[in-house]
């Protein structure tokens, strides 16, 4: 039997932001506008916005070294219930980068780990899926958030620490299981 094809992916937005501090706010606003009315609760939208801002900051700072003439590309696609945000810069390197060291708060406080290095960990725990690739000279981060799904859980299996930064009363507004 031939499988039934799902709906074709729909491009919701494609834009560039300059590689300068503050442009991550423009990226998160444009993504939020693109996915409005697409089935993300307020708390899941906030998580996506946080992940987009962090990925854009990484592209600006690490991929382009704040060179404003090198834009960061952002694309937003909906494929079925999946909303996929792709953030790309020209900071790709030949060969795999290898896995990033998992941040450890105790080791960081003891000076055994750099105080930086929370970005990918934060992003991964904000969205349903994260893929980091290098294609040619482009470094690409793909963030996937499923519309209508419960919030991602933290690395320890419970609600991630980011859920604790919700505004008072937000849990009730969004639904108790959706933080």
pLDDT at 162: 32
Q: What pLDDT, in 10s, does the model give residues 78-121?
A: 999 999 999 999 987 655 555 566 766 676 577 776 666 667 88
Q: How far is CA 116 from CA 6, 56, 58, 107, 176, in A?
A: 41, 16, 12, 12, 32
Q: What pLDDT, in 10s, does the model give residues 6-28?
A: 778 999 999 999 999 999 999 99
Question: What does the mean pLDDT of the chain come to?
Answer: 79
> Residue 83: inside a domain, yes or no?
yes
CATH number of residue 79's parent domain = 3.30.565.10
> Residue 27: inside a domain, yes or no?
yes
Instruction: Give the number of domains in the chain.
Output: 1
pLDDT at 164 over 60: no
What are the b/e assignments for 64-96, b being 16+ CB within 10 Å? Answer: beeeeebbbbbbbbbeeebbbbbbbbbbbeeee
> Residue 2: inside a domain, yes or no?
no
> Residue 97: inside a domain, yes or no?
yes
More confident residue, 107 or 62: 62
For residue 165, what pLDDT band results from cuts at 50, 70 and 90?
A: very low
pLDDT at 104: 62
pLDDT at 160: 33
> pTM here?
0.74
Q: How far is CA 39 from CA 44, 48, 86, 104, in A?
A: 9, 13, 19, 34
Instruction: Tell me which residue range forms the domain holding 129.
Output: 10-155
> Residue 4: inside a domain, yes or no?
no
The CA distance from 152 to 126, in Å, is 6
């Amino acid at each position: 039997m031939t499988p039934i094809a799902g709906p074709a992916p729909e491009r919701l937005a494609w834009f560039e932001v300059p590689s300068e501090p503050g442009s991550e706010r423009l990226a998160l606003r444009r993504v939020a506008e693109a996915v409005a009315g697409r089935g993300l609760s307020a708390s899941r939208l906030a998580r996506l916005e946080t992940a987009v801002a962090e990925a854009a900051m990484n592209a600006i700072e690490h991929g382009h070294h704040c060179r404003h003439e090198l834009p960061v590309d952002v694309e937003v696609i909906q494929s079925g219930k999946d909303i996929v945000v792709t953030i790309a810069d020209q900071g790709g390197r030949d060969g795999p980068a290898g896995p990033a060291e998992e941040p450890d708060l105790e080791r960081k406080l003891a000076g055994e780990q750099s105080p930086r290095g929370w970005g990918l960990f934060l992003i991964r725990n904000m969205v349903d899926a994260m893929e980091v690739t290098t294609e040619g000279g482009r470094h690409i981060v793909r963030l996937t958030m499923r519309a209508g799904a419960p919030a991602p859980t933290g690395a320890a299996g419970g609600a991630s620490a980011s859920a604790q930064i919700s505004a008072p009363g937000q849990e009730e507004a969004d639904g108790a299981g959706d933080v």
